[in-house]
Homo-oligomer: A and B are copies of this chain.
Amino acid sequence: MSEKIYVGVDVGGTTVKLGICNSDGTLLQTYEGPTEVSKGPDAILHNIAQYVKLIVEESSYEWSQVAGVGIGIAGFLDIPNGIIKNSPNLNLNNIDLKGFLEKELNTIIKVNNDANVAALGEAWAGAGRGIANCVMYTLGTGVGGGIIIDGKIVEGFQSVAGELGHMAIVPDLEAIQCGCGKMGCLETVSSATGIIRMAKEAVARGDRTSLIEVDHIMAKDVLDAAKAGDEVATRIVNRAAYYLGRSMSMMSVILNPEYYIIGGGVAKAGDFLFDQINEVFEKYTQEASKEGVKIVPAVLGNNAGVVGAAGLILRG
């Protein structure tokens, strides 16, 4: 058995998820263990290395088949050198993750940020399989992004490309401040957090909406209310979709990707959200830039991270 395998690691604040993929990006085996952030940097690094050894050991594959280990992690990175400059979630600063794991595992190590890695997972083996140029939006607490050109992640000069949630897409007059400090970022309106904020504002204003009966409004409540015909909720979801569509129009004249892939919790709203986004994209995008372009839902769900991390070895 000489088939090469690719190990992907998705390092989260609570759990480290791992997967073994073949060269097609098919997930052959998974594993997960606690990150143990409270025990500090050494413990986290040790855990990652241990889990990689364990997933391979527990599989039917030999260590000699491992072509490399890819890691996806949230935070500011120096991607080419695999250094974590600052990961607030994990309380890691200036950690040479690539260097540590190369020594510990004696194989090729690639490190990239979680949003880029999810985009690569979808582009390699998910909704964008076979598509060279994709842009992914992950609509969660924030709006994450990842750009794939000619099959590879666009990293940027300082490893901060693909921060699509921080496109200043909301006009100044309507803009509110983002967590990043700047005004009018996409994630102020199109993230779960943005949707919840707009819903709470509507309730506080006394707008006639069924959301007034919800104790702790979640994005799903707003999406469900909109689907059920609540006008206020519909307006909120349409606003989230509008700025996503506008940002894709902008992206299409810049990069002219073939697919936009939308993942994350908010994307579960399905056609209701996608139809709106499509309508806005159609309206605002130049003919030449939108010809043949598709806006599609992500398909890998929580596996996008481990699959994409594994993909870093072939596509990093």
Asked if A164 is at the interface of the complex by the 8 Å CB criterion, the answer is: yes
CA distance A257 to B288 in the complex (A): 25
Asked if A217 is at the interface of the complex by the 8 Å CB criterion, the answer is: no
Binary contact readout A106-150 vs B (1 if CB under 8 angstroms, 0 otherwise): 000000000000000000000000001100000000000001010
Provide a sorted-by-A list of 21 A–B residue pairs whose CB atoms are within 8 angstroms.
A132-B157, A133-B157, A147-B254, A154-B255, A155-B256, A157-B257, A158-B289, A158-B291, A161-B255, A163-B253, A163-B256, A163-B288, A164-B254, A166-B286, A167-B254, A168-B246, A168-B249, A171-B171, A171-B173, A250-B250, A254-B255
Instruction: Give the oligomeric copy count.
Output: 2
CA distance A163 to B133 in the complex (A): 16
Residues of B close to A257: CB separation below 8 A: 156-157
Asked if A284 is at the interface of the complex by the 8 Å CB criterion, the answer is: yes
- Contact of A284 with B254 in the complex, beta carbons under 8 Å: no
CA distance A154 to B257 in the complex (A): 10
- Contact of B254 with A161 in the complex, beta carbons under 8 Å: yes
CA distance A250 to B164 in the complex (A): 9
- Contact of A258 with B289 in the complex, beta carbons under 8 Å: no
Residues of B close to A147: CB separation below 8 A: 254-255
Residues of B close to A70: CB separation below 8 A: none
With both chains docked as a complex, state the minimum distance between the C-beta of A239 and any C-beta of chain B, in angstroms: 14
With A254-B251, A286-B182 known to touch, is A154 a contact of B149 (CB < 8 Å)?
yes
Residues of B close to A286: CB separation below 8 A: 163, 166, 180-182
Residues of B close to A172: CB separation below 8 A: 171
- Contact of A250 with B158 in the complex, beta carbons under 8 Å: no
